Structure 1
């Protein structure tokens, strides 16, 4: 029996679709190890922390009409599979943290965006 996997994705920011070459979402749980003085000499557990959601997105640079990425504040970002399989992922409260560019011999020039999000949902 063959396994089916999610294929291509579509990136939507505030209702507008964008061409993307890669998306790398990461989650930091914020948990901390609690170190106490005890006979075992080992930490006794963990404390709950504040979750952080970061997305690294690479978008091709168009010849005309590039979006003003600096204005990306409090946006809603949704990723959903193009073929309809899998779950839709949504981040809200998205703001641009860092923007860079990549130019290479083969392939397109890209903008590398680092976006921080306040909330994450799956549907």
Structure 2
């Protein structure tokens, strides 16, 4: 059985500037909805396409020398790519920060928790 290599750590760019990401979660809602109709089978018979949405939850380390105003981020492009060689880049366009919270603890670096909404997604 051959060994497989998996995607590991990623790098996050926001409008060309790199940020140290601790955690990233991407939620893609396809917008598809079930169409319920009255019929003799008593089941739904199909679906319709709605509006796609992308929500990104990011936890990043707060750099001492570049305190970014995350709450003001609008229309940004977030690009995610593997830190090692190879792998596919993904970009989320027209991102808007909808919430930002800071987290401080004794044992860890200061962190910022961010939620973004993105209007577009492309694989490069």
TM range (shorter): over 0.9
State how far apart, in whole Å, the 2-side matches of 1:49 and 1:103 are.
40
Distance 2:37 2:59 in 1: 43
SS in 2 for 1:21: strand
The answer to whether 1:53 aligns with 2:54 is yes
Q: Quote the residue 2:88 is aligned against.
A: 87
SS at match of 2:11: strand
Cα deviation, residue 65, structure 1: 2.6
Residues matched between the structures, number? 123
**Counterpart Cα distance in 2 of 1:122 and 1:19:** 21
Report the more deviating stretch, 101-110 or 79-88. 101-110
1:72 aligned partner = 73
RMSD: 1.2
Q: Deviations over 1:39-95 (max 9, x none)?
A: 111111111011001100001123343101122100111011111221100011011
Moved over 4 A (4+): none
Q: Structure 2 length as normaliser, TM-score? A: 0.93
- Could you tell me which residue of structure 1 aligns to residue 120 of structure 2? 119
Structure-1 separation of matches of 2:16 and 2:105: 30
Partner of 2:43: 42
**Structure 1 unaligned spans of 5+:** none
Provide the C-alpha distance between the structure 2 equivalents of 1:22 and 1:62, rounded to a whole number of angstroms. 16
**Whole-angstrom distance in 2 between the partners of 1:118 and 1:2:** 37
